[in-house]
Amino acid sequence: MSRSPDLPRAARETASRPAVLDLIGNTPLVRVTRLDTGCCTLFLKLESQNPGGSIKDRIGVAMIEAAERDGRLQPGGTVVEATAGNTGLGLALVARAKGYKVVLVVPDKMATEKVLHLKALGATVHVTRSDVVKGHPEYYQDLAARIAAGIPGSFFADQFNNPANPLAHETATGPEIWAQTGHDLDAIVVGVGSSGTLTGLSRYFRKVQPALEFVLADPVGSILADYVKTGHVGQAGSWAVEGIGEDFVPAIADFGSVKSAYSIPDAESFGAARELLAREGIPGGSSTGTLLAAALRWCREQTTPKRVLTLVCDTGTRYLSKVYNDQWLIDQGLLARPRLGDLRDLISRRFEDGGVVAIAPEDTLLVAFQRMRLAEVSQLPVLADGRLVGVLDESDLLVAAQAGPQALQRPVRNAMTAAPQTLPASASIAELRAVLDRGLVAIVADEAGFHGLVTRFDLLNHLRRQLLASTAAA
């Protein structure tokens, strides 16, 4: 078999470029048809369709290839970054495809799916505190900078100060949007994390459509919406939305084209993301919900038709444990459920709501163990025909398992605590605490039937919600 002639160097480099990188960008544009957009037409650019699942794939490849060109990143080097998750995923996708090591620092409020995805891509992940501000030793950006300084041959991507970040949007995202909208667009709704998207798009549209208006979508708790309105940097609060909102003004931020700014509460952001999936069939993350909520507000305020665009920043599939998890939203106070005025309000998983994870007396202890592990609980109510007949906890399982592996094939009824002590729904918090202080789980049941279990964590969460409510009222 004859050998193919050697390719020129440029052709060899193109041939060896990881194919997945050519899938970044050129994401589709869709029109919103089933949500109330007032007199406006609203388009969504589906950045969730990038191979890494978010808009941050664009800056991942841009920052790494810029560092390769100027020699900051050499073969065998390590890419280090502070990230809310998506930039890390973009960097990990590109870096691992090119053969680099990746070390990432993420705040502890990040969705589990993001962290698992990062680890699956081979990244080393350091989780740090999300309740501290810039200057604190555990603040994620400061920690990442220290880690990078301690790794020989590392490249600190530093998206918050890296000019390749906005340049990616100025040279690629902006032209795509302009072409896809037929050179006819009046406003773009964006959020700000590092501010690369806003800054890059602003620079591009000043050249091709100077009259285009930018609208800032910001979580309540972030300082940026107030900064746009007043020019002053206020005191940051906290927010559950991931990826956008800041407690400082990013160095690369360009707010010159922003004409309107909305502060969106977490509950509205999460609700908008869920409505987008339910009504339009498009799964988006929590930041997408913030952008959509702001876009809908702006559109409904207009009195003349406008063509408006916002972004589906990332895929909702990496938020299944949060945005699309009713239980998590209820625990966070972001999804309302009927208040009953008694201990049932403390129950995380109510029986009458179909939320109880239970076991039957004839099920095996192995089934009980698997159910506990899947639901991440340490005890299960034992129900027969909807009636509470016992409770099984992990200590019961451990005692049974010590008799040998085959013991886990025994039925639950042989290991459960039968006729457990219960509290009526009308019991006081003091009575509840008396049970919990004895190391027990409170079983709420009365003549109306079994209602659910209350753990010490449930009581703590109840007290936390009360504190948040009183703080908000003040």
Q: Which of 143, 195, 206 is nearest to 165 (CA)?
A: 195
Going by the DSSP 8-state scheme, the letter that residue 220 receives in this structure is B
The reply to whether 202 belongs to the active site is no
**Which one is catalytic: 45, 56, 98, 306?**
56
User: At 19, is the secondary structure helix, strand, or coil?
Assistant: helix
- The alpha carbon dihedral of 344, 349, 350, 356 has a sign of negative
The reply to whether 287 belongs to the active site is yes
| Alpha-carbon gap, residue 298 to 20, rounded angstroms | 37
| Alpha-carbon gap, residue 387 to 45, rounded angstroms | 51
Alpha helices in 150-285 (DSSP H): 164-168, 174-180, 196-208, 224-230, 266-280
Q: DSSP letters along 119-145, please?
A: HHTT-EEEEE-SS--TTSTTSHHHHHH
| Alpha-carbon gap, residue 283 to 320, rounded angstroms | 10
| Alpha-carbon gap, residue 90 to 460, rounded angstroms | 37
Structural element, H or E, at residue 79: strand 78-82
Question: How many other CB atoms are found less than 10 A from the CB of residue 31?
Answer: 11
What's the order of all strands across the beta sheet hosting 387-393? 379-384, 387-393, 417-418
**Which one is catalytic: 195, 263, 287, 348?**
287
| Alpha-carbon gap, residue 299 to 308, rounded angstroms | 8
Q: Given phi > 0 = left and psi -120 to 50 = alpha, else beta, which region is 158?
A: left
Active site residues: 56, 287
